[in-house]
Structure 1
Amino acid sequence: MSVIDILTRVDSICKKYDKYDIDKQKDSNVAGDDAFARLYSSVESDIESALQKAETAANEKNRASVVAINAEIRRTKARLLEEVPKLQRLAVRKVKGLSGEELAARNDLVLALPDRINAIPDGSAAPPKQSGGWRASGSRTEIKFDSDGQFDNEYFQQTEESSQFKQEFSLHVTQDQGLEVIAEGLDTLKNMASDMNEELDRQVPLMDEIDTKVDRATSDLKNTNVRLKHTVNQLRSSRNFCIDIILLCIILGIAAYLYK
């Protein structure tokens, strides 16, 4: 058997068993008419994204960021759980080119999705599991007390520890109320500061425009003063020249009169 024959047989065998490869089947049907493959691919990507966010939340030190990430993960999990019934309906739908074994494999994939989704860490405490089938017993009416439901006053007497605990609890309640009032006041101050900041941001362009106009007016005033000073100097020099001419004429007249 030649190498070409071996390669041909290997290729035919691979093509024969390609239909059992879920990943290749999903990739080949994402852009086709297989709605199950498209939806399952979207759910898979969302699960991977949620797992990455859970890992980020586990490494995050900021509690506020952790709470926000966990809330987003819980919303994603709820949305993915809503997609499971759709996948169940699409898994049993016959698709051209799929065998019964492939449809059964799809059903198994869908059945495993809820456990995978619920296994994503979201910061919420897991519900306690009942061990050994024990259940909390309800009230038993057949149990009777010797006192017939009547207790002495010593059962209700306050001890020193209980009084101290009550005082501390009242003090904590008062402190909590005071802190809530302070928090409300700080929120009000924060809102006022934000409003003032916005108002200042709106006033800054107006102040810049006023400064520009003042600078322009100052420059115009200086130029006007210079021109006015120059005009006054010219007027004064021409007036002196006229006075000099008049005096010269008077002197010449007096001299002519005396000469005659």
Structure 2
Amino acid sequence: MSVIEILTRVEAICQKYDRYDVEKQKDLNVSGDDAFARLYASVDADIEALLQKAEIASKEKNKASAVALNAEIRRTKARLLEEVPKLQRLAVKKVKGLSTQDFAARNDLVHALPDRIQDIPDGTPAAPKQTGGGWAASASRTEIKFDSEGRLDNEFFQQSEESSQFRQEFEMRKVKQDQGLDMISDGLDTLKNMAQDMNEEFDRQVPLMDEIDSKVDKASADLKNTNVRLKDTVNQCAEEVRWHKERFDQFQELLACPVLFCILRTQFGA
């Protein structure tokens, strides 16, 4: 097949299935209560996000980070596959303002979703797709044909002993990685629960701390008042001491006068 024939065939295919373009499906002028459009747009956005994560995981040099990303991708893929039956039910519902061709295209979009989701790299080798012992066009795409050369019978896809051992080893490692991730998840849940318990305990301690602060403030105020009263008492005692000292000095002066008079009288009277 020449290059011109390939380009011509690709262009014809693109024109024929142009209505399956996801971006054009988002821009359809349909009613606002179109649940299919909303759910499909959400799933398509998740697929694009997973493709970006898969690209990041493929370039990640840290093996632990790559394993964690791939595990997250596998979980998200499983969740997206659960949305396919919902989309299948919504795809058959009539929507006001939706053309017949666009309505028919929705079934094809939903039919292609599982393959789009499964084709997202998640760190596991993709299983070969077989259609009756060889590669051929899909039943709904009878005009599309892929030429192949060589022998592609059932024996071609049979697993060898080495590939079977590799597959078993891979599955074992995958199970161990999932177990490790589950342990990490359980540990994180335990830490989260501990943090919640600590927060609850702190919340219970807050009223006690407030009460202690109130008691300390009250004790400080009482101590301050006691110090003031003690200072006043000391000042009063000091005043009393000075007063008694002054009175004692006056008494001494009064007592000294008669004694001195008697002494003078004795000396000069004689």
Distance change >3 Å, CA 63–CA 247, structure 1 → 2? farther
Partner residue, 1:134: 158
- The Cα offsets for residues 161-192 of structure 1, whole Å up to 9 and x where unpaired, read as xxxxxxxxxxxxxxxxxxxxxxxxxx9xxx9x
**Unaligned 5+ runs, structure 1:** 1-18, 138-186
Partner residue, 1:32: 32
Partner residue, 2:121: 121
Please state how far the C-alpha of 1:93 moved relative to its aligned partner: 3.3
* SS class of match (2:27): helix
- The Cα offsets for residues 106-134 of structure 1, whole Å up to 9 and x where unpaired, read as 22222221111112222334458886143
Q: Is this contact kept in 1: 2:36–2:87, CA < 8 A?
A: yes
Q: Is this contact kept in 2: 1:81–1:114, CA < 8 A?
A: yes
Q: CA RMSD in A?
A: 4.7
Please state how far the C-alpha of 1:223 moved relative to its aligned partner: 7.0
Q: Is this contact kept in 2: 1:91–1:103, CA < 8 A?
A: yes
The answer to whether residue 241 in structure 2 is matched with residue 236 in structure 1 is yes
The aligned runs of 1:103-122 (5 Å cut-off) are: 103-122=103-122
Please state how far the C-alpha of 1:37 moved relative to its aligned partner: 1.5
Distance change >3 Å, CA 227–CA 30, structure 1 → 2? farther
Q: Is this contact kept in 2: 1:29–1:37, CA < 8 A?
A: no
Q: Is this contact kept in 2: 1:34–1:95, CA < 8 A?
A: yes
Q: Is this contact kept in 2: 1:30–1:38, CA < 8 A?
A: no
> RCO higher in 1 or 2 (8 Å CA, sep ≥ 6)?
2
Counterparts of 1:64 and 1:136, CA distance in 2: 30
Counterparts of 2:217 and 2:232, CA distance in 1: 23
Distance change >3 Å, CA 252–CA 64, structure 1 → 2? farther
* SS class of match (1:132): helix
For normalisation by structure 1, the TM-score amounts to 0.50
* SS class of match (1:43): helix
Distance change >3 Å, CA 88–CA 64, structure 1 → 2? same
Partner residue, 1:55: 55
Q: Is this contact kept in 1: 2:54–2:122, CA < 8 A?
A: yes
Partner AA of 1:132 in structure 2: F
Partner residue, 1:183: none
Distance change >3 Å, CA 220–CA 68, structure 1 → 2? farther
Counterparts of 2:64 and 2:217, CA distance in 1: 46
Counterparts of 2:221 and 2:62, CA distance in 1: 53
Please state how far the C-alpha of 1:44 moved relative to its aligned partner: 0.7
Q: Is this contact kept in 1: 2:26–2:41, CA < 8 A?
A: yes
**Unaligned 5+ runs, structure 2:** 1-17, 130-153, 162-186
Partner residue, 1:246: 251
Counterparts of 1:78 and 1:120, CA distance in 2: 12
Please state how far the C-alpha of 1:240 moved relative to its aligned partner: 1.7
Percent identity of equivalent pairs: 46
Counterparts of 1:74 and 1:81, CA distance in 2: 11
